[in-house]
Amino acid sequence: MNYSKIKVQKNISRPDIVFDLVAIPGTSRVLLASSDFNIHDLDISQQKAESKTLSGHASYVTTLALGKDVLASGSYDGKIILWNISKNEKIKSLDAHQKWIRKITLSPDGKILASVADDMVLKLWSFPEGKLIREMKGEHTPLTPHHFQSMLYACTFNSDGSLVASADKTGHVVVWETKSGKKVASVEAPIMYTWDPSARRHSIGGPRSLAFSPDSKYLAVGGTGKIGNIDHLEANARIEVFEWQKQEKSREFIIDKHKGLVEFLEFHPDGNILLGAGGAGEGFICFVDLKENKVAHQEKAQMNVHGVFTQNKMTSILAGGHHRVMEFQFEG
Amino acid sequence: MSNRQFCGSMEHFVSRRGFIGSAAGLSIGSFLGQKAVAEEIKKQGKSVIMLWLAGGASQLETWDPKPGAVTGGPFRSIQTSTPGIQISELMPKMAARLKDTCIIRSLNTKNADHGSGAQLMMRGRRDDAALKFPDLGSVIARELGKPDSPVPDYVSFYLQTEGRNFAGSGFLGARYGPMELSKEAMPENVSRLDQISLEDFHDRQALRDLWSKNFSMGRNSGVLASHEQAYLRVNGLMDSKKLFDVTKESQKTRDKYGPTQFAEQVLIARRLAEAGVPFVRVGRAWWDSHGQNFETHQELVPELDHVMATLLDDLAERGMLKNTMVITLSEFGRTPSINASLGRDHFASAWSCSISGCGVVGGSVYGKTDAKGDKVAEGEIGAARLFATIYKALGINPQKNYYVGSRPVPLTDPGTEPVKEVLA
């Protein structure tokens, strides 16, 4: 990829914070998970993009997963709502979790929806029926070692859907077998979690994103580095790559031009490029070249990026974040 | 008089020698006016436990939620035990026990700087160029402390290193300064030296008492009396060491409070109040959530909720709540607007505190902010009226004068009225 050719194609300001987004294939419609408790259906081809609203959640909508005709939305209200996106109608609402839902994601075949929440349970649901298949719990403890509530931030499937991984605040990452619900392996990313025992006596950080390589050999974990002053996300954003079957960290990458969290990770289909995005006060997207073993490109975004949706082998990158939606494309 | 006389270091090191020197060296003018009233208040054995939420807790994630507003954040509000009053869902235990607590939602203190904001909210006013005012703990120590008390008058826990050193006794002098515990919850340097046996220690005390009596015979000196009193207080301080030992509490009680450092200190604060210490501040840092505000408050507010609710239950079960005031206060609140790092910044224009127990109308809210929490809509008060209200609730006249030389200095600025609606 010729990273110097990346350009901002669209830059749409928003009154809300966009936590996640998905594009409906073959259309210019983009669905946004919003801090105003709604999902917004935005036609980004319009000069002055106006949105239709899907209402039903009672807190921040933080995560979206798109099937063929059905959208799933997860919220801090603990509910997953399934929507018919042709009619923009609610199909059903699931009382999915006891606490904040941090991430939902669909298996590659679109038949299983995974969800993680601060009740520290990973749940699998049949999709689009919305029936609970199984719960995976016990590996992510509800309290941190310092007696405070932990959080289960991220989950992802591997390329054939046989594995699903989850990551909690303390940096404990678990790989589960989808079919049996059994733990297969675990790895640790403790640098991403900072507990300040003396100056401020609370914590910050934690892994926020996960991605399996296309061959499932590697598991990438995105977060932030060890933080000195935990009033801010002042450490550089950070990606660690594990050979999870060996339970070994094989590489780590520091996003040295940008501070904050890596909130999104995705491998390019060829397995050689890893796309990351995130930020703190400011945001970024970055490309890690795994062949060259380096952070190949860091692109400043005009917002802290919370969610990304890629199309056409990453040649089009939609990003949503703090009061803004942006589209990046590679020229030529 | 500088409070440095009390301190061996910048961190308010507790030193017996410094304590004696300062306690014997008071030089304030006639602040013993209204003696009868003061003595009556002291007899009632009132105490204050302040939970100092250092760094600035968010009012929107505690006492004044704005669910659904653009500024409201992700948390919902929940109904409290008082119909019509809702607080953040992060405080379910306090919601169930609001009957003893008054929430004040209309603080506009106009100072969003950590240092000067903390000084303001600890003193109720800004220092004069020529006069440093005492903080709330020092005034309470002066007003509620008993001269013959064997326990300290003012204890301050602040074990975190961020945001220290904003307390101080100002013109009241070191006698009313805090016993500042900044390294561990147990006072340093108050133990009998290992190389001195208990028998030897008592012999030395008896010898000192004898010499002191002989020296005092025929002498009518205030300095001598003060010096004698200081020694008695030091002995009391050494004896009170056990009050700081949380292991003296039953495991059941310790479990109720919980395992965190804050929980243990609040339990010690209850032990101190029970033993007659008039003012204890437990500093809980650090709420300064410029980034990741909601994650920070998800950690800190449930701890506050649990520990505060347990404390109020404990005080009530022991029959102490009527005479013990529990205050939650910070140097300021946090901005309604949410910054790009999902944080909230410093904000002093419209924020909240709470007063529970002694002298206040429980199950109530005073003041109101607008729909987004940007401004006070009703009942705006500043630090001075808050302090006048606290003093009045404790039975202390907010307009009482101290004298620095011949200068009369009222406890709160002239004309400052307490908030009647808050007072029981």
Q: Which of A62, A119, A231, A323 to mutate to test the interface with B (most CBs of B within 10 A)?
A: A231
Task: Quote the pTM value.
Answer: 0.90
Give A5: exposed, middle or buried? Use CB within 10 Å, 0-12, 13-18, 19+: exposed
Two tokens at B206? 């008896």
Amino acid at B88: S
Cα separation values, B319 from A133, B312, B314, Å: 52, 10, 9
ipTM: 0.95
> Which of A283, A278, A287 has its CA nearest to residue A313?
A287
pLDDT of residue B205: 74
Q: Cβ B296–A17 below 8 Å, yes or no?
A: no
pLDDT of residue B1: 33
Q: Which residues, at least 6 apart from B354, have a Cβ–Cβ distance to it below 8 Å?
A: B63, B101, B102, B103, B104, B326, B327, B328
Taking the C-alpha atoms of residue B269 and residue B290, their distance in angstroms, rounded to an integer, is 30
Q: For a pLDDT cut of 90, what percent of chain A falls above it?
A: 92
Q: Which value, to the nearest 10 degrees, does the dihedral of the CA atoms of residues B378, B382, B388, B390 take?
A: 80
Binding-face residues of B in 325-354 toward A, CB within 8 A? 338-343
B372 CB within 8 Å of a chain A CB: no
Rg (CA), chain B: 22
Which helix or strand (DSSP H or E) is residue B298 part of?
helix B293-317
At CA B221, angle to CA B141 and CA B135, rounded to 5? 20
User: Chain A residue closest to B263 (CA)?
Assistant: A147
Does A242 reach chain B within 8 Å, measured CB to CB?
no
What is the three-state SS of A88-148?
A: CEEEEEEECCCCCEEEEEECCCCCEEEEEECCCCEEEEECCCCCEEEEECCCCCCECCCCC
Q: Which of A201, A234, A323 to mutate to test the interface with B (most CBs of B within 10 A)?
A: A201
Count of beta carbons in the 10 Å neighbourhood of residue A43: 13
Of B75, B160, B259, the CB nearest to A199: B160
Region A178-199: mean pLDDT is 96
CA distances from B228 to B39, B147, B213, B222, B233 (A): 21, 12, 10, 10, 9
Can you give the pLDDT of all 424 residues of chain B as single tens digits? Answer: 333 233 333 333 333 444 444 444 333 433 444 566 666 666 678 999 999 999 999 999 999 999 999 999 999 999 999 999 999 999 999 999 999 999 999 999 999 999 999 999 999 999 998 899 999 999 999 999 988 888 899 999 998 888 888 888 999 998 899 999 988 888 876 666 677 777 777 777 777 777 777 877 777 665 665 556 556 666 666 677 889 999 999 999 999 999 999 999 999 999 999 999 999 999 999 999 999 999 999 999 999 999 999 999 999 999 999 999 999 999 999 999 999 999 999 999 999 999 999 999 999 999 999 999 999 999 999 999 999 999 999 999 999 999 999 999 999 999 999 999 999 9
Q: How far apart are the first and last CA of chain B?
A: 36
Backbone angles phi, psi at A13, to 5 degrees: -80, 150
**Rg (Cα) of chain A, in Å, rounded?**
18
Q: Which of B19, B121, B98, B50 is nearest to B269 (CA)?
A: B50
The answer, yes or no, to whether residue A190 has pLDDT greater than 90, is: yes
**Cα–Cα distance measured from residue A181 to residue A179, given in angstroms and rounded to the nearest whole number:** 6
Q: Give the span between the Cα atoms of A284 and B248, in whole angstroms.
A: 54
Contact: A16, B341; criterion CB under 8 Å: no
